[in-house]
Amino acid sequence: MIVNLTPHAVRIVHDNGHTDTYAPSGTVARVDSATRQVTTFCAIPCNTTVYFGISGLPAAKKGMIYITSAMVAQAAWREGRHDVVSPGDLLRDDAGNVYGCRHLIVSPGFKGDGKDGGDV
């Protein structure tokens, strides 16, 4: 099963034109952060941001993957989560708006759903 933890529908457009659409689940996974000003440069405030956790990401569950932003997915991978993916090869319309993607980006440790010899 695939759960979309982004605030937008995720449309995966296959080479044959078929599209799979995953509606937002209502929960949005986010990387937790704190920002503070550390200095100024030419009177412009210069801040630093520290990232320290993930909110809105359910516990891992066998047979389930979670679609998130790339930032959340990478943070989850650093925590050993291989069930978190992000949209890859984004497709844009003439105005530059994203309308879909061609595939999902997975962690190096991702094993799949068993149909290709692996298991989430």
Q: Is residue 94 part of a domain?
A: yes
Q: Is residue 39 part of a domain?
A: no
Q: Is residue 41 part of a domain?
A: no
Asked if residue 26 lies in contact with residue 19, where contact means CB atoms within 8 angstroms, the answer is no
pLDDT digit string, tens, across residues 8-67: 999 999 999 999 999 999 999 999 999 999 999 999 999 999 998 999 999 999 989 999
Residue 38 to residue 108: CA distance in whole angstroms: 35
**pLDDT for 87:** 98
Residue 14 structural domain: 2-30+57-105
Average pLDDT over the chain reads 93
Q: What residues contact 43, with CB distance under 8 A and at least 6 apart?
A: none
Cα dihedral 113, 65, 34, 47 sign: positive
Asked if residue 11 lies in contact with residue 21, where contact means CB atoms within 8 angstroms, the answer is yes
Residue 53 to residue 43: CA distance in whole angstroms: 32
**pLDDT for 109:** 85
Q: Is residue 26 part of a domain?
A: yes
**pLDDT for 111:** 83
**pLDDT for 114:** 58
Return the percent helix, strand and coil in the chain, to nearest 5.
10, 45, 45
Q: How many structural domains compose the chain?
A: 1
pLDDT confidence band for 91 (50 / 70 / 90): very high
pLDDT at 119 over 60: no
**pLDDT for 118:** 47
58: which DSSP letter?
P
pTM of the model: 0.85
**pLDDT for 6:** 98
- Of all residues in the chain, the percent with pLDDT exceeding 90 is 86
Q: Is residue 98 part of a domain?
A: yes
